[in-house]
């Protein structure tokens, strides 16, 4: 732990010096008070039970300690936490303050101007709103509810009351308690029994007002024998003047249902991304997680599958790419809590230019989960000797009738592979980039084409100038 802290402290982050610019007017506030929460709740016209929930979460938040494991969170100013959550905070930034590297990335990824403004938190909603409404109209015909969380709280209060933070209770850890107190925005999807949604739905906050997507709550319910593909985030860097993201994703996958949940996260590199995602998988149901982490300064992200019904299945495919100034602590957790449940985990990580990737996982097989199988494979690539790559997996098996396997490998790009490609005319830089893209291919192939192309471009971009 201390070593890791030291390592983090060594990172030069002078390029992120803008972090406190707009926050001075809140300096008087120390800590988060019930008054602030009441104010947030009132602005959102919460029902009484939600205000109550927020206040209870706040109490937990104020009592709970910071985690005693994982990456250093010293860059997070807990005293100034109010600045992150003030309802009257003008999250809207100024295009001039958006760092050049982000502007350049927009440019090179070919993000349209309107979308750039929105992503950088400086523009209004952009034209895709129209696209969103068209999609919404189409799925509504099938009886699917696809809306933002605030609207859902008004229009489907019973459902929200029944499911909201039941899977990820605010008692889980400090940041989820914070989320429970101050959550705002996010997506709600309800897929009725037997309905197969043929087009992937995308997270609402990508299209939502600027500044949203910090404490957003995503709640998805896929009823019996229904199916859905949901896509969250985008590969263009999302820039916020405030730098804490403590979102929450709750996924309920009912008997025989299927959910694929894809994420490409590329938060701006000043962001502390402490995101909690969890899925409850019932009998014969399945979830596929596809998770790409490219952005943020510090991440703690471990999507969790609870295999709650016999025959439930979970598949996790992840890639993490950490460059300069980044400490990305990512992985997954699986709980086999019913007989004959299956899980597979495939992860890749790439560390470069002083970046740190930590792969962390937990696979638990409960005593009743006989006949279960789990297979985990993780591969890490070190692109230089300045970076860091750790693998921290845990298995907890409480039953003999299991088959649990785990493999991990860490290494570098072999000199011979580079030579082979250079012998076919590729420059060293292109050869390395091609090998890294190939390394990431198992994840890219799980993504919709446009996202895969964006991810490949992103890798190419990250790899530029990687040869010293």
Q: Within positions 294 to 333, which residues make up the interface with another protein, using CB under 8 A?
A: 333
Structure tokens at 116: 């750039």
Q: Closer to another protein by CB, 175 or 267: give it.
A: 175
Q: How far apart are CA 364 and CA 399, in angstroms?
A: 10
Pairing mode, strands 248-253 and 217-222 = parallel
Contact residue for another protein among 74, 129, 162, 396 (CB under 8 A)? 396
Report if residue 86 touches another protein, rule: CB under 8 A: no
Contact residue for another protein among 362, 453, 457, 460 (CB under 8 A)? 362
Q: Closer to another protein by CB, 28 or 385: give it.
A: 385
Neighbours of 227 (CB within 10 A): 19
Report if residue 11 touches another protein, rule: CB under 8 A: no
Rounded to the nearest whole angstrom, what is the least distance from the CB of residue 34 to another protein in the complex?
Answer: 29
Q: Closer to another protein by CB, 91 or 440: give it.
A: 440
Contact residue for another protein among 11, 404, 453, 461 (CB under 8 A)? 404
Contact residue for another protein among 4, 86, 89, 208 (CB under 8 A)? 4
Handedness of CA 81, 84, 90, 92 (dihedral sign): positive
Q: Closer to another protein by CB, 207 or 319: give it.
A: 319
Q: How far apart are CA 323 and CA 294, in angstroms?
A: 8
- Extract long-range pairs of 103-108: CB within 8 Å, 24+ residues apart: 105/236, 105/237, 105/461, 106/236, 106/237, 108/457, 108/461
The span from the first CA to the last CA of the chain, in angstroms, equals: 30
Contact residue for another protein among 147, 208, 214, 380 (CB under 8 A)? 380
Pairing mode, strands 145-148 and 187-191 = antiparallel
Report if residue 440 touches another protein, rule: CB under 8 A: yes
Report if residue 370 touches another protein, rule: CB under 8 A: yes
Element (H, E) at 336: strand 327-336
Q: What is the DSSP letter of 200?
A: P
Structure tokens at 441: 């291919």
Q: Closer to another protein by CB, 257 or 365: give it.
A: 365
Q: Closer to another protein by CB, 60 or 195: give it.
A: 60
Contact residue for another protein among 11, 421, 453, 461 (CB under 8 A)? 421
Q: How far apart are CA 168 and CA 252, in angstroms?
A: 11
Contact residue for another protein among 264, 319, 435, 458 (CB under 8 A)? 435
Residue with tokens 């802290």: 5
- Residues lying near another protein in the complex (CB under 8 A) are found at 1, 3-4, 7, 68-70, 333, 358, 360, 362, 364, 367, 370, 380, 382-385, 387-412, 414-417, 419-428, 430-431, 434-435, 437-442
């Amino acid at each position: 732990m201390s070593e890791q802290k030291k390592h983090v402290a060594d990172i030069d982050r002078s390029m992120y010096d803008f972090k406190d610019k707009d926050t001075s007017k809140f300096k008087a506030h120390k800590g988060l008070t019930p008054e602030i929460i009441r104010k947030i709740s009132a602005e959102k016209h919460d029902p009484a039970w939600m205000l109550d929930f927020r206040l209870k979460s706040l109490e937990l938040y104020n009592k709970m300690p910071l985690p005693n494991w994982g990456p250093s969170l010293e860059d997070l100013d807990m005293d100034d936490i109010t600045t992150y959550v003030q309802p009257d905070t003008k999250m809207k930034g100024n295009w001039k303050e958006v760092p050049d590297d982000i502007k350049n990335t927009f440019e090179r990824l070919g993000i349209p101007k309107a979308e750039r403004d929105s992503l950088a938190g400086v523009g209004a909603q952009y034209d895709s709103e129209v696209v969103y409404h068209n999609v919404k109209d189409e799925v509504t015909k099938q009886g699917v509810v696809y809306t933002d969380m605030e609207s859902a709280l008004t229009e489907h209060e019973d459902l929200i009351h029944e499911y909201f933070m039941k899977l990820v209770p605010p008692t889980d850890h400090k940041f989820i308690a914070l989320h429970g107190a101050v959550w705002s925005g996010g997506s709600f999807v309800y897929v009725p029994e037997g309905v197969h949604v043929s087009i992937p739905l995308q997270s609402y906050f990508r299209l939502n007002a600027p500044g949203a997507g910090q404490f957003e709550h995503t709640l998805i319910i896929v009823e019996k024998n229904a199916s859905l593909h949901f896509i969250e985030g985008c590969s263009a860097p999302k820039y916020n003047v405030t730098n804490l993201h403590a979102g929450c994703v709750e996924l309920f996958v009912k008997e025989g249902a299927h959910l694929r949940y894809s994420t490409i996260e590329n938060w701006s590199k000043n962001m502390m991304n402490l995101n909690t995602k969890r899925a409850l998988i019932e009998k014969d149901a399945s979830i596929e997680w596809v998770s790409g982490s490219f952005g943020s300064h510090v991440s703690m992200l471990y999507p969790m599958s609870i295999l709650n019904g016999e025959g439930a299945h979970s598949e996790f495919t992840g890639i993490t790419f950490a460059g300069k100034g980044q400490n990305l602590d990512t992985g997954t957790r699986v709980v086999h809590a019913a007989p004959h449940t299956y899980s597979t985990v495939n992860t890749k990580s790439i560390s470069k230019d002083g970046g740190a990737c930590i792969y962390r996982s937990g696979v638990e097989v409960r005593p009743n989960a006989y006949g279960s199988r789990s297979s985990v494979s993780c591969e890490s690539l070190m692109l230089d000797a300045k970076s860091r790559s750790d693998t921290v997996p845990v298995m907890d098996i409480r039953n003999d009738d299991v088959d649990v396997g785990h493999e991990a490998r860490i290494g570098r790009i072999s000199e011979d592979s580079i030579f082979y490609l250079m012998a076919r005319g590729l420059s060293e830089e292109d050869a390395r980039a091609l090998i890294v893209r190939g390394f990431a291919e198992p994840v890219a192939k799980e993504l919709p084409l446009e996202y895969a192309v964006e991810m490949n471009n992103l890798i190419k971009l990250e790899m530029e100038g990687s040869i010293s």
